[in-house]
Structure 1
Amino acid sequence: MSTFDEYAALARQLAAHRRENDRDAAAEAAHRRALHGTLDQLGHRLTAQGHRLDQLGQALGVTPPTASGPPTASGPPTASGPPTASGPPTASGPPTASGPPTAPGPHVAPGPHVAPGSEVASGSHVASGPHVASGPLVASGPHAASGPSTSAAGPGVPASGGEPAGALAEAHRLTDEADRLVAHTEAVAHRPPLLPTWSPPARALIVYVGCALAGVVLMLAMVVASDLAVVGLGALYAATCAGLPVLSFLAGYLVLGRWGRPALGTEAPPRFAPLGFVICALLVPLAYCAYLLVFRLLP
């Protein structure tokens, strides 16, 4: 193959690689635009959720906690400088060789020898005289590195962050869950605290009947007091026919106005006053008549 043919083949290969790189760059740009669009959408949704939660808190009379913000770091610790020796090393004397004499070599200047690329730490090996290194210097002190240097973040911490698409998908799921909880909170806040799952007529009926039964209990207490000559018959009849029914009706009316109103809503709750008055006006006297029929008139 001639040189021109080799050049043409390499040019075609280079053009193919360039087109592939262009396609990868375009796909990466589209992926980033999609991620940015999703991030902006989540930001708008979270902002709307924050406003809605503030409105719910103001309507319910709940003061949101003030965020103090994340703690700010004062900065990484700075080293005061490399450890310095207190003075030049002093030779204790000429070294004595215990083995056979070595071959003469090039002249080496006296002083501590530092191997290129090695670290010098305080407390490491210090020569006591002329020293000739026959290989790389290996420190035997506590600062000797036993392997490749690790990341400052510590073991087990990945150098790069997680996948952005996975993080955005998790944030999208949490945002949907927050929307569902906000909708559930609004639905609960639009229901009264007293028997929230009951309909308004059923709630009013059970409240007025309960207050009327409380009036019947008071009426029986007055009957016992009348038997003991503590309360006269006139007061007993007046309380049974007028006083206790009216008090029972007012109690039920106030209970429905206080605990029958939803947390969210300014309109007055339905109290069904005619129904309550009829129940209280009939139940207490009928209970007294039943008492007379059972315990007084029948032998």
Structure 2
Amino acid sequence: MPAEIFQRISISSPCQTIGKYEISVRVSIVPSLGNLRIREAGVGRLDKFLRKVAEDRPTAARLAKVALAQMFALAVRRGALTTNPVRETGRLRTARRKVVALEVAQLDDVRSAIRKWQQPIPGKPGPRHTGDLADIVDLMLATGARIGEILALRWKDLDLAAEHPTLTICGTIIYLKGKGFFRQEWTKSDAGFRTVVLPRFAVGMLMARKIVAADNPFDAIFASRRGTWLSPQNVRRQWRQARADAGLEWVTPHTFRKTVATLIDKEADAKRAAAQLGHATEQVTNKHYIVKPTLAPDSSGILEQLGGLPATEPARRDDPRQTR
């Protein structure tokens, strides 16, 4: 697979997406298809490859399909092929995951797990855990923001002096090969750039944190001990450690986002939940973030026929159910 092909894929892609396609080419595509000639990569072979990857790694299969489609599109433009075989491969179907959110009562278990994890272990070397994890989880629950958006927050993004204190989400923490973790000055989508009103518990936490916060060159609310941005991967690792002995293995940082959406939908509506999460429409919110039972059509009028006659109504003479 010529390097030029991959470079063409990368030109117009966001930096994070480039990294994902690089991994897809290196891990999935090259080991299985790298030795083929272009004309040997027919529809059947490509379809079999994609379905094989999708068995265990559906996301990797989708990334590989996008990368392959661009590779063969370039081959068509250069005259090496007349058609793009990737377009004729079958649709990659994946089972829809059930949306799971935390009940309000379960949040006590979450906070207890964090408090237990943050307690120092006698005799264990190394620095003590900070209170960052507890505050990060509280702010995720207060806003519904993504973990990268929470870690990208700066003190200047807050207005705690307003009658209704607000927080503006206007960036995210990403990783770029060769550069490391840094703050991207825009959110995942245009709808992600938003200002949310903070509940009282988050205002109290932020005000207490501001009093003891050390200065850092980025004005970050959540900075490392060295004054750099915290990485989402490190926060996820800390959460995995905290939840290990609490029966909360199924709870991920994204579960907190789903919990926010489900509660807002229950108390208000999906449109408000979508705006809180930074979705352009409520379709994505409804499908992937809100826990809802399936609503069956109203067939109560039809099923009324199965109710029998009222006990007080005498049987008619022509009623076939009348006892003879």
Superposition TM-score, scaled by structure 1 size: 0.19
Q: Rg: which structure is higher?
A: 1
Structure with a larger share of its residues in strand:
2
Q: TM-score, normalised by structure 2?
A: 0.18
